[in-house]
Structure 1
């Protein structure tokens, strides 16, 4: 009898720990997908063709001068190092980071390219910010940003808005996008104790008055 009570009491704590660890692992995996610039999609942007949320965000930050250039370089450099080691076995220099991503003349590029894809632009902002915030506290920002990006890609790829007649600038979604979506949803941290507390109590069956009277007789 004591063994049964111990097992049932430890089950909720084990479930809570498993859900908490899952959200933390998913948040870290999502962070590495973003900061290492694993290609998730391919879409036209102000710097040419962008394949990661950081690339989309950086092109807009450089063009609008919202953040200083060193901050944008710090966002791009980890991914540039990984891509340089994988492709050329070389580490790019800090000064050439903007040239690698074709961001040196992004201010002169027409802003209509990004304005036509506001969902992807806004989703990339939320994805990058959510990836960093998720390291401290997993939340819903990554999910919201990823859904915005997916909707923007679907709208252009399937619905054809905006219209694109150049096949070299066609929208493409990489299989890694599915991993990003799974990590974004899994990074949401659920409070198992709160869910259990708010669950409606099951009604207990009460004996009928007639049966009680018959027993007394």
Structure 2
């Protein structure tokens, strides 16, 4: 049985698996086409802007590519074809408008991916902050219609796994309930200085 004190650790590990194995959270237009995971959104930006070496981006994408191909194709993808698999080979000249219109999802994806790795070392709030940004971006487009999308094939969709990610992100935050419930110590009464009038009267 999982102890309440160990819940943030287990939640952080589960959130990391959801991120690194690229379990679909949403479907949203991005620079490389349609992105379904925070890693896909993040990788499309990293490749387009030449921020990280290509080998580092492949290492980020490869675990999820292996996991998905083993499930759906019963095969292992080639290391050299990872970028091509995610349509990331020719996106440097692609328009950045889809990503700029969805800055909340883009920023939330960055925070979610970084929080997933940092959470393995120490549970923190970055994953929760990232998922909240993603949810706000999806809600803004789904309910408020910003940006306006007239193509039904590129409509925003949220998978049920998004709820699991939100629960893991919130559970990974370590709350100190004992410290919050503990009453603050009483403040010491101020004593008059010896040089004051009150002390002279005594």
Structure-2 separation of matches of 1:199 and 1:172: 48
Task: Tell me, yes or no, if the aligned pair for 1:81 and 1:92 is still in contact at 8 Å.
Answer: yes
Aligned-pair CA distance for 1:112: 1.0
Instruction: Give ranges in structure 2 of 5+ residues lacking alignment.
Output: 187-202
CA distance in 2, matches of 1:137, 1:55: 24
**1:113 Cα deviation after fit:** 1.1
Partner of 2:171: 186
Indicate conservation of the 8 Å contact 1:30/1:131, yes or no.
yes
Match status 1:111 vs 2:111: no
The aligned residue for residue 20 of structure 1 is 5
- Please give the TM-score of this superposition, normalised by the length of structure 2: 0.88
Structure 1 residues 54 and 197: CA distance shift in structure 2, 3 A: same
Matched-pair contact (CA < 8 Å) for 1:19–1:189: no
Q: Distance in 1 between matches of 2:170 and 2:42?
A: 22
Q: CA deviation at 1:18?
A: 2.6
Q: Give 1:192 shift.
A: 3.6
Which residue is 2:53 aligned to? Answer: 68
What's the secondary structure of 2:3's corresponding residue?
Answer: helix
C-alpha root-mean-square deviation of aligned residues, in Å? 1.5
Counterpart among 23, 38, 44 of residue 38 in structure 1: 23
Q: SS at 1:43's partner residue?
A: strand
For residues 134 and 161 of structure 1, do their structure 2 counterparts lie closer, same or farther at Cα, with a shift above 3 Å needed? Answer: same
Where does structure 1 lack aligned partners over 5 or more consecutive residues? 1-16, 202-217
Distance across 1 between alignment mates of 2:13 and 2:4: 14
Matches within 5 A, 1:132-151: 132-151=117-136
What aligned pairs does 1:1-217 form with structure 2 within 5 A after superposition?
Answer: 18-198=3-183
Residues 198 and 190 of structure 1, relative CA distance in 2, 3 Å threshold? farther
Evaluate the alpha carbon distance shift between residue 23 and residue 199 of structure 1 in structure 2; reply closer, same or farther with a 3 A threshold: farther
Q: Which one has a bigger Cα radius of gyration? A: 1
Structure 1 residue 196: Cα displacement: 3.7
| Maintained 8 Å contact 1:19/1:190 | no
TM-score, scaled to structure 1: 0.82
Going by fraction, where is helix more abundant, 1 or 2? Answer: 1
CA distance in 1, matches of 2:44, 2:5: 35
